[in-house]
Amino acid sequence: MDAVGAFRERFGGEPEGVWSAPGRVNLIGEHTDYNGGLALPIALPHRTYAAASPRGDRVLRVTSVQTGDVVEVSLDEVGPGTVGGWSAYVAGVPWALAQAGYAVGGLDVAVDGRVPLGAGLSSSAALECAVGAAISDLNGLGLLESDDARAVLVSACRRAENDIAGAPTGGMDQSASLLCRPDHALLLDCRDGATEHVPFGIGAAGLVLLVIDTKAHHALVDGQYGARRAACESAAATLGVETLREIAIGDLEGALSRLPDEVERRRVRHVVTEIDRVTATVAALRRGEYAEVGHLFDASHVSLRDDYEVSCPELDVAVAAARDAGALGARMTGGGFGAPPLRSCRPTRWRRSSGVWNRHTAEGGSARRSASRSSPAGAPTAIRRRRDASEGRGGGGVGRAARLAARDRTPGYTNAAYRVLVAASAQVRPLGSAPPLSML
Residues that bind ligand GAF (CB under 6 A): 26, 30-31, 33-34, 122, 169-173, 220, 334-335
Distance CA 122, CA 172 (A): 9
Distance CA 162, CA 177 (A): 17
- Which residues have CB under 8 Å from 284's CB, separation 6+? 290, 292, 293, 296
Q: How far is the CB of 371 from ligand GAF (least distance, A)?
A: 31
What number of other Cβ atoms are within 10 A of residue 321's Cβ?
16
Q: How far is the CB of 167 from ligand GAF (least distance, A)?
A: 7
Q: How far is the CB of 310 from ligand GAF (least distance, A)?
A: 8
Q: How far is the CB of 112 from ligand GAF (least distance, A)?
A: 21
Nearer to ligand GAF (CB atom), residue 104 or residue 156: 156
Closest alpha carbon to 388 in 112, 143, 21, 129 = 21
Nearer to ligand GAF (CB atom), residue 2 or residue 33: 33
Nearer to ligand GAF (CB atom), residue 174 or residue 438: 174
Nearer to ligand GAF (CB atom), residue 117 or residue 426: 117
Distance CA 72, CA 108 (A): 9
Residues shown for the chain: 440
Q: How far is the CB of 109 from ligand GAF (least distance, A)?
A: 22
Q: How far is the CB of 104 from ligand GAF (least distance, A)?
A: 24
Distance CA 188, CA 167 (A): 20
Q: Which of 173, 213, 276, 388 is catalytic?
A: 173
Q: Is 408 a catalytic residue?
A: no
Nearer to ligand GAF (CB atom), residue 122 or residue 425: 122
Q: How far is the CB of 103 from ligand GAF (least distance, A)?
A: 28
Nearer to ligand GAF (CB atom), residue 26 or residue 348: 26
Nearer to ligand GAF (CB atom), residue 30 or residue 112: 30
| Residues noted as catalytic | 173
